[in-house]
Structure 1
Amino acid sequence: MMNRRRFLAAGVGAAAAMPLAGSHVLADEGRHVLTATDVHVKDYPTVEAVRWIGETMARETGGRVTLRQYHSGQLGRESEAIDMARFGAIDMTRVYAGALNNAFPLTQALCLPYVFDSVPHMRRAMDEGVGKAVLEGFAKRGLVGLAIYDSGARCFYNTQHAIRVPADLHGLKVRVPVSDIFIRMLRLFGANPTPLSLGEVFSGLETRMIDGAENNIRSFHSSRHFEAARYWSQTNHSYAPDVLLVSQRTLDGLQPRDRELLVETARQSVGVMRSLWDASEAKAREAVFAAGVEHNEADLAAFARASQPLLSEYRKDPAIDALYRRIRDLA
C-alpha cells in the first residue's frame, strides 16, 4: 500500500511536471483512475456517497473512468487535502466547510452559529440557490465545487459535566476545527478553544489535553469519542455542511462527456448521501446513548444570544450578509 509520504511526494512532483495530470490520474488509451480522500471511516455517509459516484462513473463509462478512495485520513488532514486538490496531486476531496473559511470566504456564511434552524432548513437553503452560490466561489483557486453534503447538528461533548448554558463551558478546553469562526465562538461561550485535527481528538480526550469537543453525533460515534467523553449536550450551535471538491486540473483533463457525467453524478450523489446520513445518524444516536453516554437538551436561546457579537461582525461583509439573509428567508 502506498503510504502518505510517498503519495504526496509522487503526486506533487508529477503535478508540477504535467499541468493537466498528476500521478493520481493514470491515462492509458483514454482511461482515468481518479483519487478521492476523506478523513472519515469507510462506512461514513460521505465516503459511501463518493464510492457511489465512482461506481456510477465506472458503469456509465464502461470502465473508462474509475475512482480509488483513501478514507480514514490515510492521506492526511483536510487542510492538506485541499492543497493537494488545488495543485493536482489528488482529484477529489470531501472536507468540512469550516476548513475552507479562510481561502473561500463565502463558506463562512454556512458556518455562522445558529444561521440554520435544522437539517431540513439547511438542505432547503442548499437546494434553493445558496449552495450553488457557494460552490461557484471555488473556481478562482484551482478547485470546482461539486456538491454540498450534510454534516448534521454540531453539539458539545465532554468528560466533565452536562452543558446546558454557555456558563457551563467556562474554563473547559474544547477542541474546535481550525476555523476562526469556531475559535471565536468558543471564546464567546467562555471556553478555551483548542484547534486540533479530527484524528488527534481521541488521544486528546484520553490524556486530558482537552476536556471536550464539538461535532455531529455521527462523528462522535464513528470516531469512538463517546468512549472517552461521556456527556453529550444538544446545543445545535452549527449545521455547517461538508463540501465535495474536485481539482480544476482533473476536470480539464477529462473528455467533455466524462466531465459532464462527473459533475452530474456528483450532484445526484447528494440524495444518496442524505438517505445514508439519516439512517446512520439515528443508529449512531441510539448506539452512544445505549452505551451509557449522558445526554441533555441545552438552552439554545442562551447560546444564540452569546454568539450574537460574532454574527454581527461577520455580517458586516456585504457578501456574507446577503447569503445570511437568503438562508434566513428560507427558515
Structure 2
Amino acid sequence: MIIKNPTKKLGKTLALVTAMSAATFASVAQADWKGWNIHNTGYPVTVAMDSFIKDAEKVTDGRVSGRVYNGAVLGSQSDAIQMLQVGGIQFAGFNLGPMGDAVPEVNVVSLPFIFKSLDHMHRVMDGPVGDQLSDAMAKKGIISLAWYDGGARSFYNTSKPIKTPADMKGEKFRVMNNELYVGMVEALGGNATPMAYSEVYQSLKTGVVDGAENNWPSYDSSNHFEVAPYYSLTEHLILPECLCVSVKAWNGLSSSDQVAVKKAARDSSTLQRKLWAERDTESRKKVLASGVKFNEIKDKSAFQNAMKPVYAKAVKDNPSLKTFIDQIQNTQ
C-alpha cells in the first residue's frame, strides 16, 4: 500500500502523540489542592492539616501540593461539603456532625452518648466502623483518609449550672445544623436553635440564646466563656472529625501516590490527637482560671435515659444505623 503525502501523515501523527503526551503529563503534574478549615491558625486541626499537605508534597515529589484556607473563608461547612463533592476544593477537615445531612450513615456518631470515652471513639473510628463510614462517604463524593479528635462536647450557658435535665427546661441552646441535635436538646426539655458558629458569641451576649455546647478548646478559642460562664460536664457528644479528600481529586492520583498521601494523612492524625490532648488541658485550665463556674455530672443516667426516643427516631428514619449502633456498643 502506498501512503499519499507521507510527510503530512507523519505531521498529524506527531501532533497526536504530542497532545497525548501533554495530557499524560498534565495528569501527573503538580496538583494544587485547596483545603477548607473552619479553625484559626494554631488550632490542633489547623496545624495537622498544614502538616498533611506539606508531607503530601514531599512524599509525592511535588505532584500534590496546596494550602489550607483557615477560618471558613471559603464558606460554611455545608458549602465546603458540596464543594468537596463536586471537586471545587480537594481536601478539608470536617466535624462529622453536619456531615449527616449529606451522608445519613454518619449520623451514628452524632447519637448522644454513643461513645463511652475518647479512647473508645478512637478504637471505633480506627477500626471497621470507620472504614464502613468512609465507604458510605465515598459514594457521595468524599473519602476520609484519617480521623481527627473533636473532643467531648458539654453544655454551657449564661445563667446557671446544669445538673439534671430539669435545669435545661425552657432554655434556648444553640446546636449545629442537624436534626439529631435538635431532638437531643428537646428531649432534655430545652429549645434547640440551629445557628452558624460565627453567630454564637453575639447571640449569647444579647440573649438570643441562653447557652450552647462544645468542647473545652472551642469554648476557649471562641471566647464563649466570657459571655456564658457556666460549664457543665455532660460530655453528651464525642464527635470525631475527618481529614477528607474529594473522590475526584483522589482518583486523579496514581496508586502509589494514594498510598503515600494516605500515610501523610494518618501521620497528621497522630499529630492532631497529641496536640488536641495538650490543647484540651490548656484550655480547661485557662477558662477555669478566668472564673468559669464548672460542675461535673458524675451520674449521667438521667441524661442518657432521655435519649431513648432520639435513638428510636434515628433508627426509624434510617434503619441502617442499627447495625452501626450495635457495632459501636460492642467495641471494647
- Same fold by TM-score, threshold 0.5 exceeded? yes
Q: CA deviation at 1:208?
A: 1.4
In structure 1, the residue matched to 2:120 is 121
Alignment of 1:125-274 (within 5 A): 125-274=124-273
In structure 2, the residue matched to 1:23 is none
In structure 2, the residue matched to 1:18 is none
Q: CA deviation at 1:126?
A: 1.1
In structure 1, the residue matched to 2:312 is 312
Q: SS in structure 1 opposite 2:97?
A: helix
Q: CA deviation at 1:67?
A: 2.3
In structure 2, the residue matched to 1:20 is none
Alignment of 1:71-90 (within 5 A): 71-90=70-89
Indicate if the aligned counterparts of 2:152 and 2:215 stay in contact, CA closer than 8 A: yes
Pair 191,88 (structure 1): closer, same or farther in 2 beyond 3 Å: same
Q: Distance in 2 between matches of 1:61 and 1:102?
A: 34
Gaps of 5+ in 2: 1-25
In structure 2, the residue matched to 1:9 is none
Q: Distance in 2 between matches of 1:29 and 1:137?
A: 28
- More displaced, 318-327 or 106-115? 318-327
Q: Distance in 2 between matches of 1:306 and 1:28?
A: 53
Q: Distance in 2 between matches of 1:199 and 1:261?
A: 36
Indicate if the aligned counterparts of 1:114 and 1:304 stay in contact, CA closer than 8 A: yes
The two structures have a TM-score, normalised by structure 1, of 0.88
Gaps of 5+ in 1: 1-26
Q: Distance in 1 between matches of 2:218 and 2:198?
A: 11
The two structures have a TM-score, normalised by structure 2, of 0.88
In structure 1, the residue matched to 2:18 is none
Q: CA deviation at 1:29?
A: 7.5
Q: CA deviation at 1:252?
A: 2.2
Indicate if the aligned counterparts of 1:135 and 1:147 stay in contact, CA closer than 8 A: no
Runs of 4+ in 1 over 4 A off after TM superposition: none
Give the number of aligned pairs. Answer: 305
Q: SS in structure 2 opposite 1:315?
A: helix
Q: Deviations over 1:158-207 (max 9, x none)?
A: 11110011111111111000001000110011111000111111111112
In structure 2, the residue matched to 1:327 is 328
Q: Distance in 2 between matches of 1:259 and 1:123?
A: 23
In structure 1, the residue matched to 2:56 is 57
Indicate if the aligned counterparts of 1:158 and 1:211 stay in contact, CA closer than 8 A: yes
Task: Read off the aligned partner of 1:312 and give its amino acid letter.
Answer: A
In structure 2, the residue matched to 1:99 is 98
Task: Read off the aligned partner of 1:47 and give its amino acid letter.
Answer: T
Q: Distance in 2 between matches of 1:68 and 1:250?
A: 15
Indicate if the aligned counterparts of 1:204 and 1:210 stay in contact, CA closer than 8 A: yes
% same residue: 36
Task: Read off the aligned partner of 2:325 and give its amino acid letter.
Answer: Y
Name which one, 1 or 2, has greater alpha-carbon Rg.
2
Q: Distance in 2 between matches of 1:268 and 1:134?
A: 20
Task: Read off the aligned partner of 1:292 and give its amino acid letter.
Answer: G
Q: CA deviation at 1:274?
A: 0.8
Q: CA deviation at 1:269?
A: 2.1
Indicate if the aligned counterparts of 1:111 and 1:238 stay in contact, CA closer than 8 A: yes
- More displaced, 156-165 or 196-205? 196-205
Q: Distance in 2 between matches of 1:28 and 1:240?
A: 36
Q: Distance in 1 between matches of 2:281 and 2:206?
A: 30
